[in-house]
Structures are given as structure tokens and as C-alpha cells.
Chain A
Amino acid sequence: MKILVPTKRVPDTDQRIRVAADGLSIDTSMLPFVVNPFDAIALEEAVRISEESSQPVEVVAVGVGGDEYEEQLRTALAMGAERALLVETDRPVDPWNVARLLVKVVERESPNLIIMGKQAVDDDANQAGQFLAALLDWPQATFASKVELVEGGLRVDRETDAGIETVRVSLPAVVTTDLRLNEPRYASLPSIMRAKKKTIERLSCEELGLTIEPRIEIVAMEGTSSDRQCERVDSVDELIDRLRNVAEVI
């Protein structure tokens, strides 16, 4: 069995994000970057499946981006991915183009399963997995909080607005992860050292026979800030008074 794990590089989620001088992008000069948290969960799930399976399971991490992606792909290797693959693009790509490029990777690699994040926490799009499943005509189980291998495929618990939904999907399939699926491991020092020695395979868009077709054009970007003035109240009585007589919400 082979599991593909698309892995995105995103700013560390604890950092304050500021708009760059161009007014079209964010200022990345001071930002540390990490593996998208949902993709770390996807990697963890794939590695657990490989550890628990009696059959050999190969986990392949795939990034779509520039040279800087090496950092996150090495993290993926250190977490237990067997191989890492970088589809080289020099500019940021939207979910549609990520999905189209991943289709080409799937054609070369023939995985049985793709596990990826439900959402990249930079664009917050929540699209690439669904696009990929649509383009491949594979079943999808999005927002997974539990994944079990069962006869004929997977049984997946999905987090929905209404509660936990359970579906069964046949393989090959696309699964996207939600926060409660697992707790990603920290890579151990020896595995980090081993990951450093591995080669990251590279593929260009030309090799994959695709040109990027941008779908989302950012025409402006602005920072958001709260202009609320917090009135500090000293007691429950005062709070009730404000809510009742000033804000008139209770």
C-alpha cells in the first residue's frame, strides 16, 4: 500500500501576521514556517497506518512550492515518511493548481490513499482535497476524526456541523484531516538526523506536463484589527447593568 501526504509550508500559527508593503501579500521576512498543522496530523495518521499494518506501507510526502519547502519535507521525513517529493513552482499556487499537479503525481505514483489537511491555515481555503478527489473521481472523506481500515476500504468518522458522521469509502480515496484525528508526534533526534541524509526528489511542472492556470487573483489585502474599547467592570452587578441598560442585549 502507498499513502500520499500533500504537505504545505505555512507561517507558524503563533506568529502575528502583517500585510507587506505591496498590499497584496503578507510580510514573511520575520516569520518562522512550519508544516501546516492539519498536514502534520495527516502525516501522523499515515505513519500510524504503516506502523500498525502487517503489509508494507510506503508513506510519501509531497510539497508543491519552491526550494524553501525542503525544510517542511525534511520534517515529514523525520516524522516517518519514507520518501519526499517536491513539485517545483516559483510562485504560490492556489488549491486548483495544487490539485491539478497532485493528479499528475498520483498518475506517476499510483497511491491507494491520499491523506491531507482539511485546510491550509494560511489561505484557509478548505478546497484542495475536494478538488483532487473530484479530478481523480475518487471517493472522499473530509474532516476525519477517526480512520479505520476495514474490508473493502475505510470507515471514517467525519466532524460536521451537526455532529459526527460515519461513512465508508472504497479505495483509492482522499481523506482530509480534522484536529481530533490524532496528536502528531515530535520527531526524535535520530530520525531528524536520518531525514537529513535522504534526498528529496524533485519534479518540475514541465516534467508533469502542466502550466499553472491561476484561478484566484488577490487584488488587495488589508490587516484587520479590533477597534473595540474594552470597558473593565468591577463586579457582576456592574456587568449586568451594562448589558441590560447600555448594550441592551439581555
Chain B
Amino acid sequence: MRILLIAEHNGTHLRTASRCALGFANQLAVQTDGSVTCLLLGSGLDEVAADAARFADVLVADDEALRSPVADRYARVIADVAGAGAFDLVTAAATTFAKDIVARAGGLLGGAMASDVIAHEWRDDRLLLQRPMYAGAVNATVVLHGPVQIVTVRPSAYEEAAVKNRPGSIEKIEVDAAALPNHIQFEGLASKETGRPDVTEARVVVSGGRAIKNSEDFERLIGTLADRLGAATGSSRALVDAGITPNEFQVGQTGKIVAPELYMALGISGAVQHLAGMKNSQVIVAINSDPDAPIFEVADYGLVGDVYELIPELIEKLDGD
């Protein structure tokens, strides 16, 4: 298969999530005797193009009109590159960027799309894709029928691609800025800098739930413990809804999907929607005052008790070493 990977970047480097999607693309290219091309969109892309070329051949859509990731423009460029039989499959990491933009491109490319794929198999000339449904209660195996297959993959399900022996080529593609749609204006991005690792990339994630009563307590308990472990902080939906944590902290079916080496669920009940986002973590610790909380069913280690007593004790004992 000729595979086009839509890569996300921070202006200088490919994002980890995209390197994982590239891991999927590389596997599939080997299995199908195919190729992988990476498409970068944005403005001022020389540095990131060089980074991407360490992993694959690169196409660069570099134009002032693509400075911000607006869906109508980006999707048009992607569909122009991928359409007309040029590629068999378009892939990206299942992030909000891809959910917004790559899905729209999917609509321009005939709508054969599987979201959030966690495994795949090439069998009898068919690509079998496994994806969770119903908040992860079931895994479905699906086959796509359409002119181009669009696949977003869950980053935690695939290993990051390795650097290639020889760098790939870099080719600029013409962007006809005047012909691009102009109906979405980007106004700004407000992100809360926490100074901690991103929850999807961290080796350890410390998450708090409704047991935590306010932002000060969250910072004092969850934040301090996270810092002691070099961890990212996350939370259940309950805390995001209450305004205690920002939306990008939400782990779950409709938030972020994480699979760190260690996930600590502190005062989280373990609703299926939360489990959907963390149950594939390698080691799961749950602390909850309710011995029957469902979170214990997916945990490796469970401690029953009050987080307001146990977290300070944990911090103190870890500090003590």
C-alpha cells in the first residue's frame, strides 16, 4: 500500500503521537510491500522537514495560508495530495488535530474511515483493523471499502518509528493559497502551562477524581505527588466539569487515551468512560475509600482509604528516601 502519513509537529519536531502512527505505517508498508510518505502542513517548515526526513520521504505544504491548523484548508490540501489514486491509505495519530482535520479530509476522500485503531493485520489481501467501540466495552475488527482508506491510530498501541539508515527525500508541493477555503478564522489557543509532561507522553500519570474537592487540593495532592514521580497529571471528567482541572487533563472515552508504565487513579470510581482511557496502562494503582469501587477491577494494586490522608503520606515517604 502507498501510505500517506499526516504528521503533527511543533514547528521543529514531529510529535511523539505522529511517530507512533508512523510506526503503524512502517509495519503496514513492510507487510504490503508498500511505501510511506509523510505530509507536513504549516508555515516555515524547513527545520521540521529535516526532522521528518530522518523517518520517511517527506512532502511539505509550506505556506503562510497554512500557519494555523484550520480544518477546511488543511483537509483540502490533504485530499488534493491523497486523491486521484496517488495513495491507498491516509493515516494519522488519533489526536484532536486528526479527529478534526483528517476526518474532514476523509469526507473529501470518500468516507472509508476507521478511527482510533489499536491493532491491524494484513490477511488475504485485506487490511483488518481492530478498534474499540462502546467506550472500549468491545473491540471490533473492521474492513474498509472505499477509494482511499483513512485510518487514525491510537498512539499508545504502536511503537514509535525508528530513524532510518538513510534520510528520506524532501519535496515541496505547490499550495494555491487563493483557491483554499476561507471560512474558518483561527483566533487563538489558550493552554494552561503546567510545566509537567503531557499526559499522553508521560511514563507515569497521576490522576485525581471527584474525591479531590478543589484546585488547591488538586495541586497540593495530585500535583505534588506527580512532581515527586516526574509524572503528568490527569483527571476524571468529574473534575474537569467542576472546573478544578482544565479539559486537556480529562482521561477517558471522550478525553485522552493513555497507556503509561504507571497510572495512579486517586479517588476515581472507575466508570467505563474513564476506564476506556487508561485500562491499557502497564501498572495501575487505585486508591479509593470504597472497597467495592469498580476501579479496583482493573487495578494491579489497590489501597482502600482516604486520599486526603494517604497521598500526603505517600509524598512524605517518597520524599524521605
Contact = CB atoms under 8 A, between A and B. Distances in A.
**Real binding pair:** yes
Interface of A: 11, 13, 16-17, 19, 26, 94-97, 99-100, 118-119, 121-127, 130-135, 137-143, 145, 155, 158-170, 173, 178-180, 214-224, 226, 228-237, 239-240, 242-243, 247, 249-250
- Secondary structure dominating the interface of B: mixed
Given A131-B107, A163-B190, A228-B284, A221 B141 contact: yes
24 contacts: A16-B137, A17-B134, A26-B138, A96-B107, A119-B254, A121-B134, A122-B133, A130-B71, A132-B107, A134-B75, A159-B247, A162-B248, A163-B192, A164-B247, A170-B183, A179-B240, A217-B143, A217-B144, A219-B128, A230-B286, A230-B298, A230-B301, A230-B302, A250-B318
Contacts of A236: 303, 310, 313-314, 317
Contacts of A100: 111
Contact of A218 (B110, B141, B286, B300): B141
B143 A180 contact: no
> What 10 A-B pairs are tightest by C-beta distance, nearest first?
A134-B107, A96-B111, A163-B191, A131-B107, A139-B183, A130-B103, A17-B137, A220-B141, A166-B187, A249-B262
B134 A243 contact: no
Given A124-B115, A125-B115, A139-B181, A164 B135 contact: no
B72 A140 contact: yes
Interface in B138-157: 138-146
Contact of A233 (B111, B262, B303): B303
Nearest to B187: A166
Taking residues whose C-beta sits less than 8 angstroms from the other chain, chain B's interface range is: 35 or more
B298 A226 contact: yes
Interface stretch (B50-58, B92-100, B171-179): B92-100
A161 B248 contact: yes
B241 A180 contact: yes
A145 to B, nearest CB: 7
Given A218-B142, A222-B138, A99 B111 contact: yes
A216 B112 contact: yes
Contacts of A217: 142-145
Given A121-B134, A167-B184, A230 B297 contact: yes
Contacts of B133: 122-124, 221
Contacts of A242: 301
B37 interface: no
A216 B114 CA distance: 8
B155 to A, nearest CB: 11
Given A17-B137, A161-B95, A231 B302 contact: yes
B162 interface: no
Given A155-B187, A180-B240, A250 B75 contact: no
B237 interface: yes
B299 A167 contact: no
B105 interface: yes
B115 A160 contact: no
A218 B145 CA distance: 11
A11 B272 CA distance: 14
Nearest to A160: B96
A122 B115 CA distance: 13
A116 to B, nearest CB: 13
B112 to A, nearest CB: 4
A126 B115 contact: yes
Contact of B204 (A26, A223, A226, A249): A249
Interface in B231-282: 237, 240-241, 246-248, 253-254, 256, 261-262, 272-273, 279, 282
Given A124-B132, A239-B303, A224 B139 contact: yes
B300 A131 contact: no
Contacts of B248: 159-163
Given A133-B104, A217-B145, 13 more contacts: A17-B137, A26-B138, A122-B134, A140-B184, A142-B99, A145-B247, A159-B96, A164-B247, A168-B184, A215-B112, A221-B140, A228-B284, A240-B318
Contacts of A131: 103-104, 106-107, 111
Contacts of A178: 247, 254
Nearest to A238: B303
A238 B70 CA distance: 50
Contacts of A143: 96, 99-100
B187 A167 contact: yes
A231 B107 CA distance: 47
B283 A167 contact: no
Contacts of B282: 249
A247 B300 contact: yes
A174 to B, nearest CB: 10
A237 B317 contact: yes
Contacts of B137: 16-17, 223-224
B188 interface: yes
Contacts of B190: 163-166
B285 interface: yes
A163 B96 CA distance: 10
A88 to B, nearest CB: 21
B42 to A, nearest CB: 14
B304 A232 contact: yes
